Structure 1
């Protein structure tokens, strides 16, 4: 293993591509942790989609300048950031890019300085910063990094120390935020951020990340009962709408825009790059948010989502995850590839052991199916692809697995 003392723009992009794939493979697990600020089960999905936007058109990148590459990534992320967690992640990437300003490549000390910039940018973007969230995790990562670099000058040496520290802070987030303690989960955005750091560590050390080691699960101390009780307790709550938009050529300060938005919004995150201002807020009346923003410039990339509907889906998903149990005498496990809560519930009622969920037209990856196979407690496994598009991935997963896997087309 080489002792890596600097990274360039190509390295930075490759790290994020690796992180994107790792977030994709764990997004459903991250979603199950999502109870703050709204329990709508989309944190992992939003972080994945934000990284996908950030890396748009960078597949064949040849530019090795970390300054120019990081600025392209930051702009894409700010414009394409999804949800509260995605918009904050975009601001972290923007802060890093500011720290990389005028650099061709970056050493451990310079990366530490960029992390300080990322912390400042992320906290400044949130109207009411709350500890116990991904803000706490990026701050702990920055502080730990800048302590570790005093006696270490290689990424290989610093990253294991920093990831270990960030993991411990993440496990403590329920003690910082009461809603996490009630649901018996760690912060979902913080978990996603830790996975991104772990992807960076794995890239530097050229090894495979241990997902079971770094992934926290709902109700680890109570076998999942608290998360179910939590969503049932809040079943009658009204959450309103998640409103996201971009103002092009905003003719106002960030503070002016924030005041106008917060008259009818909450959980507001405002980011900006060049002539664009990205706004994420929660509101009972999306129309008032749009009316408040249109006075500042041209509105674009408008996205409005019903959080009550998202919460309902999260409740259904939580119940599904908790109700699938293994019969002690069972000799064969069944995996179903499914799309939508209706089919998910149907398969659970039929006794299916594991469900690989597909979102809309998104087909399951080989790694997702292979993970489901590995989680089965029996050596004999049957897969129900339920769609011709999933058959090839199922076949490849069966070939990769050491278990006896049969596929029913």
Structure 2
């Protein structure tokens, strides 16, 4: 086979997506830090699945169009740094194939070079020994090796072999990989994708072998911040007016030049109908797709109205009145619906109050809006009390996608939007969303890497200052925050000269494991000893879901006695996975 078209490339995508899906727990296991996040494989799998879904029901024969659709799906579904970089690789790849119906080996090699270049540009400070190294070395090697009329399957075989060579070389470029004895997880995920491409070209299309994993989408509610009474109570997050039917659909609009029996779509009129018949509205219009989320008493009317303009790709309707008691019970129903079953139970983190929006006049455009990523009722409430307008549920174990941020930005009617990712692995997805939204509003990502950094930044936001003054003030104060966290180890390892044993608690700060002990409070004390100095005056401790009342009393007693020169503030954060978030100022 000398050339491939869109039909064959679609088969390659499906094969690659399935191959990564079957292997993503292995990729997760390569993560250097022994924390219970499992992020790289999971994020790349969810990103790749989004790209595959975008092309699955389409029948384009043009490889340029299939690559474009695939890149669009990856872009919107990108989660975590690994997912964003993956989306950028195939964004560049698609640009290299633009306008082509079919390509030969030389054109395919050129497209991978384009993918490499776009990916490197997307990362401000590229680090070698990562997925970037693998795509660079493999694509460069292929471009030098490829010949005119080279069979496509041989071309892909060579690319995969070179990618594996590069992957095995990553520990030599990144000392931490060599210390732990693993290869780069992002590079491994990319190799699984290339392997799936390769197998498809040898008529060995990979099929899914594992149980289906449910993607954790971020949902929205219009709860008022003052409706939550106390950090430990779910309370009535939906008042009576908000009951009815949670109605969602994805509508593919009819070709506006060939309407047939359908009507011409008018976005302004469509949104007016939604506003007249419901609330908690999320509306996204991109090219020929319209995505809607609405709480309404008349779902049938909404569905009937929408179908005048196209055909539904997906649709869903839930009776919220019947679900109210379940929502009151810590959203267990949502956990079951959204969580990962079986072996993936470790990723099943409750999506409590997935997004909370302060009540505003939707027709009046305000100057500023703040969006923060957080999980845990206590932490969410703290953000809402400190200038945040909307909270997107997420964190280390469930990174929001680019699309989640886009929806959140659209939800708020503001000239300037500040995004606080509060996790280093979420920054790139937030930035990608801000770039996508630049024609609709000015969105700025404040690169908060921890929850304490985010809280300090939001607290210091001043609505009377201009954008640049706020950015400068927030960045300056973030730099003065020393933060850390306590979580349990999921495997035995030695890193940063600290021996880590599975099940014990680790104290982490500045991307380093500083201590590891059997008891979480002993770990907390040691971590604070490393962070507190003679200039420190305030210690804030946010307690997680696993911390008991007795343990909180012990924390209060030991920390106030040990660090008697500091004011100690202990709060219920309610976060999963991490026993404590701490900040020292």
Mapping 1:33-182, distance limit 5 Å: 33-35=30-32, 40-150=37-147, 153-182=150-179
Q: Check conservation: 1:132, 1:187, Cα contact below 8 A.
A: yes
Instruction: Specify whether residues 30 and 79 from structure 1 end up closer, same or farther in structure 2 by C-alpha distance, changes over 3 A only.
Output: same
Q: Residues 124-157 of structure 1, C-alpha deviation per residue, up to 9 Å, x if partnerless?
A: 1112110000000011121121122136621122
Preserved contact between residue 64 and residue 99 of structure 2 (Cα < 8 Å): yes
Q: Given the alignment of the two structures, is residue 195 of structure 1 paired with residue 197 of structure 2, yes or no?
A: no
The answer (yes or no) to whether the contact 1:140–1:169 under 8 Å persists in 2 is yes
Partner of 1:8: 5
* Structure-2 separation of matches of 1:151 and 1:197: 21
TM-score (norm: length of structure 1): 0.56
What is the deviation of 1:41? 2.2
Match of residue 206, structure 1, among 194, 203, 208: 203
For these two proteins, the number of residue pairs brought into alignment is: 267
Q: Is the 8 A contact 1:43 1:189 kept in 2?
A: yes
Matched, 1:25 2:22: yes
Are the aligned partners of 1:75 and 1:273 in contact in 2 as well (CA < 8 Å)?
no
Shift of 1:196: 0.9
The structure whose residues are more often strand, as a share, is: 2
User: Deviation per CA, 1:295-326, whole angstroms, max 9, x where unpaired?
Assistant: 79xxxxxxxxxx968x64xx32669xx99xxx
CA contact (8 A) 2:34 2:491 kept: no
Distance 1:273 1:142, change over 3 A: farther
Distance 1:159 1:57 in 2: 23
Question: For 2:124 and 2:102, how far apart are their aligned partners in 1?
Answer: 33
1:149-208 Cα offsets, whole Å, 9 max, x none, are: 136621122222222222111111001001101110000010111111111111112247
Bigger relative CO (Cα 8 Å, ≥ 6 apart): 1
Matches within 5 A, 1:283-362: 283-284=449-450, 285-286=453-454, 288=457, 312=488, 315-316=489-490
**Helix, strand or coil: the match of 1:7?**
strand
Following TM superposition, by how much is the alpha carbon of 1:266 offset from its aligned partner in structure 2, in angstroms? 5.0
Matching residue of 2:471:
none
Aligned pair in 2 of structure 1 residues 70, 36: CA closer, same or farther (>3 Å)?
farther
The structure with the largest helix share of the pair is: 1
Distance 1:155 1:41, change over 3 A: same
| CA drift at 1:33 | 0.3
Taking only aligned residues, the RMSD between alpha carbons, in angstroms, comes to 4.1
TM-score, length of structure 2 as denominator length: 0.40
Q: Do the aligned residues in 2 keep the contact of 1:83 with 1:280 (CA within 8 Å)?
A: no
In structure 2, how many angstroms separate the alpha carbons of the residues matched to 1:84 and 1:37?
Answer: 18
Q: Unaligned 5+ residue runs, structure 1?
A: 210-239, 251-256, 297-306, 324-409
**CA offsets, 1:232-280, max 9 Å, x none?**
xxxxxxxx95575545899xxxxxx9xx989987565344799447979
Q: 1:156 to 1:179 in 2, by over 3 A?
A: same
| Larger-Rg structure | 2
- Contact kept in structure 1, 2:5 and 2:103, CA below 8 Å: yes
